[in-house]
Structure 1
């Protein structure tokens, strides 16, 4: 086993070589564990009179991805109110009241006087 002091003393090439050796050792250990697990599972299945192929659940095909309906962009609402002093300023009547609308209401203008007739 390599301790931290030894690792710090190693060159980059030595560390890369060690890393490759560790990767190979991990792959070999994984393959060994896989073989042992398969052997143990096979033995357990045989005790009940089955083979691994008999008890292995068939892999169900992955469900097809459902197509989602493309979202259509929302149409902007039609303006319902216009500023009497500047007709380019409009408001749909939804959401927060614009400052010009609140100012007109405070000045005594009725909402019906600002309503846009369609």
Structure 2
């Protein structure tokens, strides 16, 4: 049974790698065609790739003792926020003023 489970993992990994390779090849072909016509893919689709053009949000919250630790207020809460909330602090205590 252990060998079958390992084989299943290996097959799943191989399929994922194959699909990623095909996706990257398709993307490269699309980008090459767009470039031949003097455009970028983002210009043609009217969007900006999340990896290339998305700017990080400015920080909204900061750690009171270590101001280099910041958080925009979006996504997963940092551990220092969770710990502070559990100890009775409020989100207003962390706001950058």
TM bin, normalised by shorter chain, reads 0.3 to 0.5
TM-score of the superposition, structure 1-length normalised?
A: 0.40
- Max Rg structure: 1
Q: Determine which structure has the larger helix proportion and give its number.
A: 2
RCO (CA 8 Å, sep 6+): is it higher in 1 or 2?
Answer: 2
